[in-house]
Amino acid sequence: MAAAGSASWQPQEEGLKEICGLLEQQISPSSSADKSQIWQQLQHYSQFPDFNNYLAFILARAEGKSVEIRQAAGLLLKNNLRTAYKMMSPAHQQYIKSELLPCLGAADKHIRSTVGTIISVVVQQGGILGWPELLQAFINCLDSNDLNHMEGAMDALSKICEDIPQVLDSDVPGLAERPINIFLPRLFQSPHASLRKLSLGSVNQYIMLMPSALYASVDKYLHGLFGLANDPAAEVRKLVCAAFVQLIEVRPSVLEPHMKNVIEYMLQVNKDTDDEVALEACEF
């Protein structure tokens, strides 16, 4: 067990091998080992205060291991943090957070996605104030023009928007404005369908809450929606429909000036080649 400074924590080779071995058996369909026995072993390990550090290390740094093993470590870490995060020592919390951020731009999509899920859990447990570096890391990734980094940050952001949207619409000491004000303008322009889908999904989470930032830039938002209305990606068109359906329910006044265009669009999309998009349009 390492001293308090988070940078000084290092995994023991032996422990690393055993935990990776267990994870390997846990995910292997052909493994003859008894799954409940493996589970008990993992439970036994989770009694050690730095077990979650090992999992973070495997997820972030076990380059020689398969993506499946690294992902399994990440999913176990996510589940552990749901219950254990608040009881962990600040040094261990810090170590885990410092391992997660560089993985936002991981080359493998599955690793990025797992990291995004864990980040959302950490924010749920420790709040946005408990992780001052996070927002800056998101901004750096979104502004990087590197698709992996942009997608990793958008994915994590979209999970936070889905799980705890209100945290981004609150005042954060040290920030000149609410996080949502900082991210909204960055959410609308992207040449990549995967990013358009994530960002639109994120903003749609706020229609019900309608934070002042979104209300103030609602014309820009509608402009963005109309701009994506005939997007080549069906997933994006579906989200555009979902946005109009929600808006007519909770903020019809916002749509009033554009009603003719919206109705025409919805009628057009009723005949969309993608069944799910057409179905979403029917809700209107």
Q: Is 176 helix (H, G, I), strand (E, B) or coil?
A: coil
pLDDT digits (tens, 9 = 90+) for 263-275: 999 999 999 999 9
How far apart are alpha carbons 178 and 182 in whole angstroms?
7
State pLDDT tens for residues 40-94. Answer: 998 889 889 999 999 999 999 998 899 999 999 999 999 999 999 999 999 999 9
pLDDT over threshold 70, residue 277:
yes
By percentage, how much of the chain surpasses pLDDT 90? 68
In tens, the pLDDT along 135-170 reads 999 999 999 999 999 999 999 999 999 999 999 998
Distance CA 149, CA 49 (A): 31
Please write the tens of the pLDDT for every residue from 92-142.
999 999 999 999 999 999 999 999 999 999 999 999 988 989 999 999 999
pLDDT at 132: 86
Across the chain, mean pLDDT equals 90
Report the pLDDT value the prediction gives residue 108, as an integer from 0 to 100: 96
CA-nearest of 235, 227, 237, 233 to 269 is: 237
Phi, psi of 263 (to 5 degrees): -65, -45
- Residues with Cβ within 8 Å of 108's Cβ and at least 6 positions away in sequence, in order, are 67
pLDDT grade, residue 198 (50/70/90)? very high
Going by C-alpha positions, the residue among 14, 12, 15, 40 that lies closest to residue 26 is: 40
Amino acid in the structure at residue 249:
E
Q: Which fold has domain 44-186?
A: 1.25.40
**Range(s) for CATH 1.25.40 in the chain?**
44-186
Please say if the pLDDT value at position 189 is more than 90: no
- Asked if 77 and 114 touch (Cβ cutoff 8 Å), the reply is no
